[in-house]
Chains A and B, each alone.
Chain A
Amino acid sequence: MEEAGETKKIMYVNRKAPYGTIYALEALEVVLIGAAFEQDVYMMFLDDGVFQLKKEQDTKALGVKNFSPTYRALEMYDVEKIYVEKESMEVRGLTADDLIIPVEVKSNEEVTKMMTEMDVLLNF
């Protein structure tokens, strides 16, 4: 295996809101397991994906597990490159203060550039 030990730039592209569908939760599970592979990992939140990071999620009445605190644990898994698109937040009336973890806010143009620099894009 000539490529063993190779490090790839992998971006997890999250575009879906939590709870309405399972994609956000299962995407997060990929990121946590994936951390063991020590790749150059980027988490990008676009469109409704930004709602995944909204503070004050309370799922008691819904009867499902609130997984939003898990985003705070990403740092312990050395997942530190976490980005949110500015335009996606603006359209939804959110600012970085509404989010459960500190993120880097990127413009659509910067998102485009970052995507082109990746080796692999995993879409959820």
Chain B
Amino acid sequence: MLHTVNKSPFDRNSLERCMRTCDKGSAILLIEDGVYGGIKGSVIEDKVKGAMKDVKIYALEADLDSRGIKGRVIDGIQLVDYNGFVDLTVEYDKVQSWL
């Protein structure tokens, strides 16, 4: 199952809620303001790294680029473009958008 998160974790609970509820072996894709959850040195970095033991975390490159934080992404988070986003929705059997 692919989870998408589109909210900043400093504003809303979507990312933490997603990390708490996602099943082992699933993937989380950070899009839109959700990409702020992938920023290095933030108060949520440890939680994100902890989640990465059980799930793969991806971030959408266009959203990182536009926000000026592509160079600040936590090691281990994989960057994808929209083609990669589509591929993830194909690879995983369904999508849960944590709106």
* Majority secondary structure of chain A interface residues (helix, strand, loop or mixed): mixed
Point out the residues of chain B lying under 8 angstroms from A46, CB to CB. Answer: 17, 21
Point out the residues of chain B lying under 8 angstroms from A73, CB to CB. Answer: none
Residue from A15, A47, A115, A123 in contact with B23 in the complex, judged by beta carbons closer than 8 Å: A115
In the assembled complex, the CB of B28 is this many whole angstroms from the nearest CB of chain A, namely: 13
A15, B22: Cβ atoms closer than 8 Å: no
A123, B21: Cβ atoms closer than 8 Å: no
Residue from B1, B22, B23, B96 in contact with A13 in the complex, judged by beta carbons closer than 8 Å: B96
Residue from B13, B20, B21, B99 in contact with A115 in the complex, judged by beta carbons closer than 8 Å: B21
Residue from B13, B22, B97, B99 in contact with A112 in the complex, judged by beta carbons closer than 8 Å: B22
Residue from A113, A118, A123 in contact with B97 in the complex, judged by beta carbons closer than 8 Å: A123
Q: 8 Å CB contacts to B: which residues of A99-121?
A: 108, 111-113, 115-116, 118-121
- Flag whether A124 is at the interface (Cβ < 8 A): yes
- Tally of A-B residue pairs with Cβ under 8 A? 34
In the assembled complex, the CB of A65 is this many whole angstroms from the nearest CB of chain B, namely: 23
The proximity string for B residues 71-96 relative to A, scoring 1 for CB distances below 8 Å and 0 otherwise, is 00000000000000000000000111
A116, B98: Cβ atoms closer than 8 Å: no
B1, A116: Cβ atoms closer than 8 Å: yes
Point out the residues of chain B lying under 8 angstroms from A123, CB to CB. Answer: 96-99
Give Cα A111–Cα B96 distance, bound, in whole angstroms: 13
Point out the residues of chain B lying under 8 angstroms from A108, CB to CB. Answer: 20-21
Give Cα A113–Cα B26 distance, bound, in whole angstroms: 12
A120, B96: Cβ atoms closer than 8 Å: no
Which A residues lie at the B interface, using CB under 8 A? 13, 15, 46-47, 108, 111-113, 115-116, 118-121, 123-124
8 pairs, A vs B, C-beta closer than 8 Å:
A47-B13, A47-B17, A108-B20, A108-B21, A112-B21, A112-B23, A121-B94, A124-B99
Which B residues lie at the A interface, using CB under 8 A? 1, 13, 17, 20-23, 26, 94-99
Beyond known contacts A47-B17, A108-B21: 17 more, CB 8 A cutoff? A13-B96, A15-B17, A15-B98, A47-B13, A108-B20, A111-B21, A112-B22, A115-B1, A115-B21, A116-B1, A116-B26, A118-B94, A121-B95, A121-B96, A121-B97, A123-B97, A123-B98
